Amino acid sequence: MKTLRPFWDFTAGSVAVVSRGNRYYYAWIALLVLLSLGGLAAWGNQFVNGLITSNMRDQVSWGFYIGNFAFLVGVAAAAVVLVIPAYVYQWGPLKEVVMLAELVSLAAIIMCIFFVTVDLGRPQLFWHLMPALGNPNFPYSLLVWDILVLTSYWAISYFIVTYLLFKDYMGQKYNVNFIMPVIFLSIPLAISIHTVTAFLFMGLKARPFWDTAILAPRFLSSAFSSGPALVLIVLQIMRRVGSISIPNKALFKIAEFLAYAMAINLFFLGVEVFSEFYSPTQHAVHARLHWFGLDGRTDIAIYTWLSLACNVIAFVIFAVRPLRYKLPLLSAGCVLAFGGVFIEKGLGLLLPGMTPDMLGEIYIYNPSLNELAVGVGVWSAGALFFTLMAKVAMAISAGELRHRGT
């Protein structure tokens, strides 16, 4: 009971914090709510009329939704890049920003689950992916494994964030012996969520473009490129609009991590290109579509080269110290890295894997307006969750929200 009452006060105080703000805060919340409701309405249309409202067909049965899912799983896993130096090696400056990185991960996992839900033709069958509640094909279904590791990682990350914020709210030092084992457990879970997602693609042997043992390492390297890039963008925004002090040396250290991650990601990409084109087989048709186009279809190839250009320019900015020490260039590099990996792991990964299909047919897929509306709604819901949680975290960090006894 001694802990329950302060925790109730902590919850009530958090609700009070998120319910007040200036006009810009209210306008931002209203915008996110409206976009989320618009996405919900579009999903309702899809629920009533079926996936025919999307442009997915038998030839391309995975599209915009799964592309976002694959990308966001990487964003969710990226917090481990900051957790290890902050809590394992006790590097002080990163401790001040790792909480916001964890909140980005939590929001990303929520969006992942939403994208899986909207991709199901019959969402009520989602219950059958859950152990005990339904009848999952466990342990043979990789999708069940993916749901398990995603929900487990979200639960552990949410516990870590809530515990650390509550201790800060109480003005107490966190118990190292209690929380460190949980943090250590979150590290392999963060790696596993993207590994299992890669296994989802690799397990489809009829799709030779994904049938490569290096896909899981590529997923991880791209995750450690896009996730911290998004975190850097968010940190700079929060530093401008919130009452939180974030030292430049923390931003520059994250940029240094990004240089290593992007170098590895580009190296893995080069290995893939070599294996596809140096000794090509009949399955190299998917890689040719990916890089050069096929039968007059060059839209995917254009996006592929755009993604490569974004990643290379971002890598140069992060790798050259004088460049990454200039905040405008650092921000530009983060936007390029985020956009480059989004293209690479979104439709740039899905469409070449499914085109041409197993009968050799080339189906030109582009997301429908209804799919885009649902996607915007999901991203808005994730941004809304992050905004509310971040406002509480900043209020506690600034001392605006404290237990009355401290």
User: Is 75 inside a domain boundary?
Assistant: yes
- Comparing CA positions, the residue from 155, 264, 143, 136 lying closest to residue 203 is 143
User: Is 405 inside a domain boundary?
Assistant: no
Residue 80 reports pLDDT greater than 90: no
Across the chain, mean pLDDT equals 87
Q: How confident is the model at residue 378 (pLDDT cuts 50, 70, 90)?
A: very high
User: Is 7 inside a domain boundary?
Assistant: no
Q: Which tops the pLDDT comparison, 211 or 84?
A: 211
Residue 85 reports pLDDT greater than 70: no
User: Is 143 inside a domain boundary?
Assistant: yes
The reported pLDDT for the residue numbered 298 is 84
User: Is 403 inside a domain boundary?
Assistant: no
The reported pLDDT for the residue numbered 67 is 92
User: Is 311 inside a domain boundary?
Assistant: yes
As a dihedral over the C-alpha atoms of residue 290, residue 233, residue 380, residue 98, rounded to 10 degrees, the angle is 110
| C-alpha atoms less than 13 angstroms from C-alpha of 172 in its C-beta half-sphere | 12
Residue 91 reports pLDDT greater than 70: no
Residue 180 reports pLDDT greater than 90: no
C-alpha to C-alpha distance for 306 and 35, rounded to whole angstroms:
28
Residue 131 reports pLDDT greater than 70: no
The reported pLDDT for the residue numbered 297 is 78
| pLDDT-above-90 percentage for the chain | 38
Token pair 């250290």: residue: 253
The reported pLDDT for the residue numbered 367 is 93
User: Is 131 inside a domain boundary?
Assistant: yes
Which residues are registered as beta bridge partners of 297?
294
Q: How confident is the model at residue 100 (pLDDT cuts 50, 70, 90)?
A: confident
User: Average of pLDDT values for 141-169?
Assistant: 87
Specify which of 36-50, 142-156, 250-264 reaches the highest per-range mean pLDDT.
Answer: 36-50
Helix (H) or strand (E) holding 38: helix 23-49
User: Is 26 inside a domain boundary?
Assistant: yes
Give the chain's domain count.
1
| C-alpha atoms less than 13 angstroms from C-alpha of 173 in its C-beta half-sphere | 3
The domain in which residue 312 lies consists of 19-397
Cβ atoms within 10 Å of 138's Cβ, excluding its own: 12
The CATH number of whichever domain residue 233 belongs to comes to: 1.20.1630.10
For 285-336, the pLDDT digits (tens) are 988 988 998 877 788 889 999 999 999 999 999 999 999 999 999 999 999 9
The reported pLDDT for the residue numbered 243 is 67
